[in-house]
Amino acid sequence: MKPYSIYVVDDEKVAREGVALALKKSYQVKAFVSAEDAIEAIKSEAPDLVLLDIGLPGMSGIEALGQIKKLFPDMIVIMITAYEDVKTVVSAMKLGALDYVVKPIQMDALSVNVRNALETIRMRKEIQGLHEKYLKENLPCFIGESNAIQDVMEVVKKVAQSPDTSILILGETGTGKELIAKVIHYRSPNFRGPLVSVNCAAIPKELIESELFGYERGAFSGADKSGKVGFVEEAENGTLFLDEVGDLSMEAQAKLLRFLEEGEYYRVGDTKRRQVRARVVSATNKDLHGMIEDGRFREDLYYRLAVIKIEVPSLNKRRDDIVPIARHFLLEFSDRFGKTFNGISFEAEAALQEHQWTGNVRELKNLIERGVLLADGPELKLKHLGLDGATEHGVSKEPENEKMLAPLTASGIDFPAIMNSVEKFYFQTALKMANDNESKAAQLLHLSRDKFRYRRQKLQLA
């Protein structure tokens, strides 16, 4: 296991070098004379823990603490002070310092403080590890090795690191936009805070302001006597997920824009200005650019929401992932319903890959659930899926498709050779239709260009 890294920031040479020397026995340590130098280093390589002197020349320790917390809200910082100035220490603790030590520093006491702080980090990483395990086990939308979904997950991994950058998720119905929002939340510095999901399409336009921002007692006729906390306030230090944001009325869009621009809001019926720190993630399956041109969505709101834009590919654009996802659901529902399914027939898998998934992963999940529930197993067959136009011998009711399949006899068949012939046939046909343009041929077969080129070479097609 890699040693924990610690930055020591102190302008007094004796204190700085003494602390660094004592800690180097167990940790990776870097020492800095000024806060400015330490912050520049933190930007490029963040440590696990910072020991920060309060009385620094130039930028003070208190100012530096604020800068560090702005860059990395979860950074563990222990303050060092030459004397126990209660007022200064309280200010540091309010800004997010975990603890403090008083000069002259007692190394035994400092070691205890550092161990306790690093235990906090260990527990945090353990929790994040559990979140990662949860995401892997509960987000089947992202199973698969297709370039399309791998590219999305790489972007998600990067943008999740920010605690407050607005993100807009675009994609067809059923592609898993809300699950993407969950991934972003659980991989972000806000993972310990709440994830508040709001279906914008379900809120009447006359209630959007009170639902989002809350209201005070007696704010309007029919208001709850005790008032109400809004979704925005509920999401403090976490993530506010606005699903179906394209369904907001123009009036609601204006109120949301005001909050995003100013970072402030008022409860309905209240004069007290409030602030909330939360990341806003929104999602829609609508064409927002088209809605902007038609005057149905505010362009300024779009750019506020889409600081980062993530487009989730449809299942039809990642066909290599269809069967792995289907197998995941098969085992999930087999266990849930007490069945004994252990596989999907060749014909059923072929039909799943040929089907046009208008409902995407959600449609696939429902179809597998229905098949497992109504059939007995151990193999899920084509007849259990209920796909239109499918038979036990292919994906079409036309008899020509049945003739294409070699009969399986008691002596068996050379299955690899048959599959090789089928693959060659479709690759050659696609290349002919595309006038030997690899990119177009790959699109016809729903493959990435790299995967098409690799298979073409394996098949030895000129």
CA dihedral 370→371→372→378, nearest 10 degrees, is 180
pTM for the model:
0.56
Q: pLDDT per residue over 100-159, tens digit each?
A: 888 888 888 899 989 988 887 887 777 666 556 655 555 556 676 778 888 888 898 889
| φ/ψ (deg, to 5) at 57 | -70, 160
Residue with tokens 């949301």, as numbered in its chain: 256
| Whole-angstrom distance, CA of residue 181 vs CA of residue 168 | 9
State residue 133's pLDDT score.
60
- Judged by DSSP in three states, 303 sits in helix
Helices and strands, number each (H, E), in the chain: 20, 14
What is the overall mean pLDDT for the chain? Answer: 84
CA nearest 76: which of 31, 42, 30? 42
Q: pLDDT per residue over 43-56, tens digit each?
A: 999 999 999 999 89
Residue 396 confidence (pLDDT) above 50? no
State residue 207's pLDDT score.
84
Cβ atoms of residues 80 and 36 within 8 Å? no
Q: Are strands 273-275 and 264-266 parallel, antiparallel or unpaired?
A: antiparallel
Residue with tokens 């369904």, as numbered in its chain: 247
* Angle 16-17-21 from CA coordinates, rounded to 5°: 125
Cβ atoms of residues 167 and 351 within 8 Å? no
Of 219-223, 278-282, 450-454, give the range with the top mean pLDDT.
Answer: 278-282
Kindly state the percentage of the chain with pLDDT values over 70.
87
408 pLDDT tier (thresholds 50, 70, 90): low
Cβ atoms of residues 11 and 53 within 8 Å? yes
State residue 411's pLDDT score.
64
State residue 231's pLDDT score.
93
Over range 257-271, report the average pLDDT: 84
Kindly state the percentage of the chain with pLDDT values over 90.
34
Cβ atoms of residues 27 and 4 within 8 Å? yes
State residue 413's pLDDT score.
66
| Whole-angstrom distance, CA of residue 253 vs CA of residue 241 | 15
User: Residue 33: left (phi > 0), alpha (psi -120 to 50), or beta?
Assistant: alpha
Q: pLDDT per residue over 152-183, tens digit each?
A: 888 988 898 888 899 999 999 888 898 889 88
Cβ atoms of residues 4 and 30 within 8 Å? no
| Whole-angstrom distance, CA of residue 317 vs CA of residue 325 | 14
DSSP 400-461: HHHHTSPP--TT---HHHHHHHHHHHHHHHHHHHTTT-HHHHHHHTT--HHHHHHHHHHTT-
Give the distance between the most distant pair of CA atoms in the chain: 90
CA nearest 68: which of 17, 3, 7, 112? 7
Over range 280-300, report the average pLDDT: 95
Of 120-124, 282-286, 340-344, 369-373, give the range with the top mean pLDDT.
Answer: 282-286
